[in-house]
Amino acid sequence: MANSRGPETIDASIFASGGRAVTIEQAVEDVDILILSIPLNRLPEIAPKIAALPKDVVVIDTSNYYPMRDTEIADIEAGEAESVWVSRQLGRPVAKAWNAIGSDSFARLGKPAGHPDRIAIPVAADNERDRLVAMALVGDTGFDAVDAGPLSESWRQQPGSPVYCTDLTAIEIPDALAAAERSRLPKRRDLSVAAVQERLGDTKSNPDAGFLVRLNRALFL
């Protein structure tokens, strides 16, 4: 794992189940798969390193666009799917995965394959190998992977969509993907952010992970 501040700033407890802290340069050396989890406004800083990777390296984008954090990106504001924009910045294909699950659900709710309470994660990609690799890795992390189609349709799993951080099952996700209304996603995303920010720091109603899932279900489904 690497970040922009250096390996010494990464909490060692993260690696309790394996892995190690490295520099960005080390993170892109001799890899088969690279997973990106960074604010989109920082992407141009590392784009040259990723663009230089061998073509057979699978790059998985987990990022989400929040204009209040990332600053406004004109092409995304105009309707370009976030991961299509990411792919253009990197000059290479990407798969979109893990963006539509909250950190608490990801940490706690993984289940063995076949478990009746296993929740699912949508995966979008243009390249079939990228799709299969990303879906296999999603399964390895304890969640069912659902094929969400090409990157051009990945807006259906962006913030504000019915599948975004609502902890749905593999049976529920296809209908939720189909129900997404592109023009309504930004407003719903911003409503969710505003509701969370209004409660932050309030000792009586500071939002926990359960609140976030309930809020997203109320707004997005």
- Tell me the per-residue pLDDT of 119-149, one tens digit each, with 9 for 90 and over: 999 999 999 999 999 999 999 999 999 999 9
- Asked if pLDDT for residue 57 goes beyond 90, the answer is yes
Contacts of 186-189 spanning 24+ positions with Cβ under 8 A: 186/160, 187/160, 188/159, 188/160, 188/219, 188/220, 189/66, 189/158, 189/159, 189/160
- Tell me the per-residue pLDDT of 62-118, one tens digit each, with 9 for 90 and over: 999 999 999 999 999 999 999 999 999 999 999 999 999 999 999 999 999 999 999
Name the β-bridge partners of 122: 146
The amino acid at 208: D
Mean pLDDT over all residues of the chain? 93
- Tell me the per-residue pLDDT of 176-202, one tens digit each, with 9 for 90 and over: 999 999 999 999 999 999 999 999 887
The domain spans of the chain are: 31-220
Domain 31-220 grouped into CATH 3.30.70: no
